[in-house]
Amino acid sequence: MSVAIACIVLLFLFILNTPIFISVLVAILTYFYMAGDISPLIAVQRIIGAGENVTLLAIPFFILLGNLLNYTGITHRMLRFTGVLSGHYPGGLAQSNVLLSTMMGGLSASNLADCAMLSKMLVPEMTKLGYSRSFSTAVTAAGSLITPIIPPGIALIIYGFVADVSIGKMFMAAIVPGLLCCVALMFTIYLISKKRGYLPARAHGPTCRELWEAGKGRHLSINF
């Protein structure tokens, strides 16, 4: 009975658009209160114990890193670098979208943060250049799924913690699948762009000087 009441409270708070962490906390406390024979101190101990886990501490630090990348402008420098690498292919901005998601996998490790960032930064630019909104959205969503695969990913950390497997070995095993997903998605974008007439963002491939300047983070006149 207490489980059912806790689930009802949780759903009710979701309907009220209450933040998820508050909804879950209230539902847990409701369960322990309704159970009666279980001390609420157990819930407090479990919450504090989970917060003291060293492995899970990587998650808030990755979220902090993603915010720092946005505020310091590093993501825009990475976008210029990916534009130099892949802007000469058909659908150049879409190709840069996927490549940037792959590079962000080793930095932010969060697909939600990556998708939110690219939705504000690239989707409006893609629609201005003639890409359909559905195509821009699909590319951004699909590319963001590569982020948690490229190590170190939050999903890999959580899975390794819950399943009690080596996180280091999971990181090593995820590198090749993540890169293959990137290549497959970029090839798919290439075919669709050729069919729909999405033009490259650059007239020529990258030169050594452009790669060097973009890699150092210097501003280049790259028009998407």
Give 198's DSSP letter. Answer: P
Task: Give me the amino acid identity at 125.
Answer: E
**pLDDT confidence of residue 6:** 84
**pLDDT confidence of residue 55:** 63
Task: Name, in order, each residue with C-beta under 8 angstroms of 117's C-beta and a sequence gap of 6 or more.
Answer: 66, 70, 75, 104
pLDDT digits (tens, 9 = 90+) for 91-134: 888 888 888 888 877 666 667 767 777 777 788 888 888 888 88
**Coil, helix or strand for 126?**
helix
Residue tagged 């948690």 (tokens): 148
**pLDDT confidence of residue 128:** 84
**pLDDT confidence of residue 38:** 67
The residue extents of the domains of the chain are 2-52, 57-216
> In the chain, which residues have pLDDT < 70?
1, 36-40, 43, 47, 50-59, 62-63, 66-67, 70, 106-110, 113, 217-224
**pLDDT confidence of residue 1:** 67
